[in-house]
A and B are shown apart, each in its own frame.
Chain A
C-alpha cells in the first residue's frame, strides 16, 4: 500500500487533545440531599487503580481514536496495489469449453466471468491502459491497450463462447510479452478462469497473476476418444473406437448411443465408477459415407452432467465408390470367380486394352500381356511374356516351396491373414529384371528358397503394379484357400494403401484441411452457423482451428448454377480431458480470494475511510445520548 499524501499523518497528533479530553474530568456539582441511601447501589464512579482506568467512557474514547485513525488514513490518501496506476495491465479471459458449464440459474461460467469483468473495470479507480486476451485455442487479443472502460466492456461482451481447450499458459506468455513491450514488466495480469486447464497448477504459484475464480468443481462424464477407421477385413466396413471417462466424484450410469445417418448402430450401457474410463469398439459397413456420431445419454437418477460439449462426438466417413475390375486375358474360373466376389467392386471382362487405366479401376492381366503396359493400377497373374519391367524365363523345375520365415514380407498388407509356409506354388517362371531403363526394381513380397520372386510390387508414377508369378487353379488346397485372401488384400491395396481415414479434429488444434485445388476460396460453416471465407493454397486450407464441436462444412464461394457448392464435411470434437475434468481443479485455486480492491467498487480508499469515520461519529453520537439515558 502506498500513501499519496504522507503529510496527512500529522493528523494523528490530534490524538493527544482527544486523550486529554477523556482524561480530564469536569468538577462535579455538589448537592446536599436529605439522604443518599436511596442512591446506594445505583452505579456511581468506580475507583481508578490503573492509569488507563482514569479515562472516561472507554468505548467512546476507542471510537474517537478510530475516527482519528480513519481520518488520518483518508487524508494520507492510501492506494492499494491494484489501484495503483500502472503503465499497463492485461486481463485474460478464459473462454474455453469448460466455461460453457452452466450453473443452476442457467448462466454460464463465461457469463459470470463477463459480469465480474464489468465489475472489475468499474472497480479500477486509477485506470491503467488495459488489454484483454482470450485464452482458448490460440490466444487472441480481444482489446488492445485502452483505459476506456466502455471499450473494454464492449470488447469483453463480444468474446464468444468456444469449445476450444484452455490455453492459459500461452495467454499468460502473450500477456507478458505485451506488457514487456509497454515497459510494464511488473504490472499485474488479471485472470478470469474456472481453473480447468493443464497449466493451472503451474500458474497459481505465480504472484504476478491475480486470479478471479469462476464456477465450482462439478461432476462430468465425457467422450474422450472417438476414432473411426476403415475396416481391414471389409472393403465397405468401418470400425470406430469410443472412450467414455467419468471425471466426477460419483459413479455414473449412462448409455452410449452411436448413430450413422439417422440409423442406430449401437446402444451400449455403461457403468463408470469415479475416475475410470471405458472403451467401446463398434463396427459397421457403408460405402456411401456419411456422418457417424455418438452421444451419451444419462438417466434421471444419474448425477447431473455439467458440460454438454463433451457428451457428443462426430466422425465423417468418406464415400467409397466401388472398384472397377477390368479382366483381360485367358479365362480362369477360379480367378474370375474370386474377382467377381470382391466386396464393393464391379467386375467386367474386356477384350481391348485401354491406353490408361482409370483411377478407380484396376486392370487384371491373366497370362496375356501386351508389350507396353497401360498407365494405372495393374495386377498381372501368371505372366508368360516379357515387358519392360521384367523378362520371363523358363518354368521353374520343381514346384517352389515358400519359406514363410525367410522369404515372405509378412508385415505387408498384401499378405495379411496368409501363411504360406512350405506350400508349393506350381507354374511359376523364372523372372529377371533389366538393369537399364526407367522401370526400376520391384519390391519382392514372396520368393522361393532359391530367391526366385513369386509376388512382386512396382510403384509406378501413375499407379501400382502387382505380379503374381504362379498358375491359378493348379495348386494345392492350401494355396487355393489362401489365394482369394491374397486377391482381396490386393484389391484393398489398390483402393487405398492404409486403413486410417481423415481424423476427427480436436477443437483448438491448428489443422490443415485438404480441399480440391479447383477452388480458390471456400466458405467454411461452423455448427453454430457462423461462416468464414478462407483461401485455398496448394490444395489446402488453413482455418487456424475449429472452435466448435460438431460437423463443419466447406462450400464453394462461387458455386455452379443450380448447386449448393458443397465440397466436404469435417468432424470436430472436444476430446480434451483437461477441459472435461471439472472436479480436478486444485483446491488452492479457489482459496485464492479475490483482491480487496475488487470489492471497493471503483471508489477510492479514502472515500471508504471517510465513510467509516462518519459511521463512527454516528456511533459516538449514539453513545453520547445513551449515556444520559443509561
Chain B
C-alpha cells in the first residue's frame, strides 16, 4: 500500500493529542503519572511498602535519610479511527482524484497511514468502519507488527448501503465503553442530520466521553468544483432521492456557498473545541496530505 520511503517518513511522525490520556501500558506517549520509566522526575520520602529498588541508596549513604526516586512514566494512548464506508464514499459518486483514487480508497489510505503512525508510537489503534451504523470494527491493536492486521482489515472494508448516520454510530460506539483517547474521523461528512440539526449535537457525543477529535474531511472534485451545466436529474447515492435541477452559473454559485458554509461550520466547531480539522480533496496527493497538510493543521507532529 505504501512505498518504503514513505513508511520511513511515517515513523518519524506522531499523532498529536493536546490532552494527556491515562494509558494502560508503557509506550511512547508521556503521561502525568510517575512510575517506571527512564527519565528522572524527582524524589519523595520513603514509606514502608515502597519498592526498595527505587530507594536512592546514594542519598541514604550520605545523609542517612531514605528517599525514593521517581521517574516519568510513558503510556500508550487509545486511537480510534472512524472510517466512513457509506455509499457517498463510493468510487462512482464523488468522482476520482487525479491519482485515480476514489474518496473511500483515499480515506482507507489515510486510515492506514494514521494507524501506522499510532502503532509506531505503541498506541492502541482500533478502526471502526461505519455508515448508518457501525459495520465493522478492528479491535484495539498495539505494536508495529499489527500493521498487517490493520491493512488486512482495511482491505476487507467495503462501502455499504445506507444513509450516513454519525449520531447513531457514535452513540453505539460509546455504549461499548471504549477507552477515551484520540478519535480520528475520516469522512465526507455528508449526513443530512448533521447538516440539519447542527454539528455539535452529533459530535458532542464523543467529546462528552473525553474523546479528542481529529477530523479529516475528504471531498471529491465534482463535489467541490462541479463542472457540469444544464438540465440534470441528480440522484442521491445514499438515499436514492432525485432532484431535477437546471444547473446555471448562479445556482452553482449558491451551491458552492452552501458547501462552503458547511465546511466553515465544521471548521469553527473544531477551532472552538481545540480539535484538529483538515480538509482535503481527492486530487491532493495522499503523501502531501499526510506529510504536509496534516502537519500544517497540527494533526501530526
Residues of A within 8 A of B (CB): 25-26, 28-45, 627-630
Which residues on A sit within 8 Å (CB–CB) of B94? 33-34
Which residues on B sit within 8 Å (CB–CB) of A29? 230-233
- Is B45 in the interface zone, CB < 8 Å from A? no
As a 0/1 sequence over residues 67 to 97 of chain B, the CB contacts with chain A under 8 angstroms (1 = contact) are 0000000000000000000011110111000
The residue that A33 contacts in the complex, of B235, B244, B246, B248, with Cβ under 8 A, is: B235
Which residues on A sit within 8 Å (CB–CB) of B19? none
Q: Are B231 and A42 in contact (CB under 8 A)?
A: no
Which residues on B sit within 8 Å (CB–CB) of A41? 258
Specify the chain A residue showing the minimal Cβ separation from B251.
Answer: A42
Specify the chain B residue showing the minimal Cβ separation from A630.
Answer: B250
Tell me the dominant secondary structure on chain A's binding face: loop
Which residues on A sit within 8 Å (CB–CB) of B228? 31
- Known A-B contacts A33-B237, A34-B190; the reply to A44 vs B243 at CB < 8 A is yes
The residue that A630 contacts in the complex, of B88, B90, B248, with Cβ under 8 A, is: B248
The residue that A37 contacts in the complex, of B89, B90, B92, B190, with Cβ under 8 A, is: B190
Q: How many interface residues does chain B have, given as a range?
A: 35 or more
Specify the chain A residue showing the minimal Cβ separation from B250.
Answer: A630
- Bound-state CA distance A70–B93 (Å) is 50
Q: Are B245 and A44 in contact (CB under 8 A)?
A: yes
Q: Are A36 and B236 in contact (CB under 8 A)?
A: yes
- Known A-B contacts A42-B245, A45-B246; the reply to A34 vs B255 at CB < 8 A is no
Query: 14 interchain pairs (CB within 8 A)?
Result: A28-B231, A28-B233, A33-B93, A33-B222, A34-B90, A34-B103, A35-B190, A35-B236, A36-B243, A39-B243, A45-B245, A628-B229, A628-B249, A630-B248
Which residues on B sit within 8 Å (CB–CB) of A32? 92-93, 234-237
As a 0/1 sequence over residues 135 to 175 of chain B, the CB contacts with chain A under 8 angstroms (1 = contact) are 00000000000000000000000000000000000000000
- Bound-state CA distance A45–B233 (Å) is 10
**A47 → chain B closest CB, angstroms:** 10
- Is B262 in the interface zone, CB < 8 Å from A? yes
Which residues on B sit within 8 Å (CB–CB) of A26? 231
- Bound-state CA distance A33–B226 (Å) is 11
- Bound-state CA distance A65–B84 (Å) is 54
Q: Are A35 and B237 in contact (CB under 8 A)?
A: yes
Q: Are B250 and A36 in contact (CB under 8 A)?
A: no
Q: Are A33 and B236 in contact (CB under 8 A)?
A: yes
Which residues on B sit within 8 Å (CB–CB) of A44? 243-246
Specify the chain B residue showing the minimal Cβ separation from A35.
Answer: B190
Which residues on A sit within 8 Å (CB–CB) of B51? none
Q: Are B250 and A33 in contact (CB under 8 A)?
A: no
**A580 → chain B closest CB, angstroms:** 67
- Known A-B contacts A35-B192, A37-B195, A38-B262; the reply to A28 vs B236 at CB < 8 A is no
5 more A-B contacts (CB under 8 A) besides A33-B236, A34-B88, A40-B243?
Answer: A34-B220, A35-B236, A37-B190, A39-B245, A630-B250
- Bound-state CA distance A28–B247 (Å) is 11
Q: Are A42 and B233 in contact (CB under 8 A)?
A: no
Which residues on A sit within 8 Å (CB–CB) of B93? 32-34
Which residues on A sit within 8 Å (CB–CB) of B242? 36
Q: Are A35 and B88 in contact (CB under 8 A)?
A: yes
Q: Are A30 and B233 in contact (CB under 8 A)?
A: yes
Specify the chain B residue showing the minimal Cβ separation from A629.
Answer: B249
- Is B41 in the interface zone, CB < 8 Å from A? no
Which residues on A sit within 8 Å (CB–CB) of B254? 42
Which residues on A sit within 8 Å (CB–CB) of B88? 34-35
Which residues on B sit within 8 Å (CB–CB) of A39? 234, 243, 245, 255
As a 0/1 sequence over residues 203 to 245 of chain B, the CB contacts with chain A under 8 angstroms (1 = contact) are 0000000000000000010110000111111111110011111
**A44 → chain B closest CB, angstroms:** 5
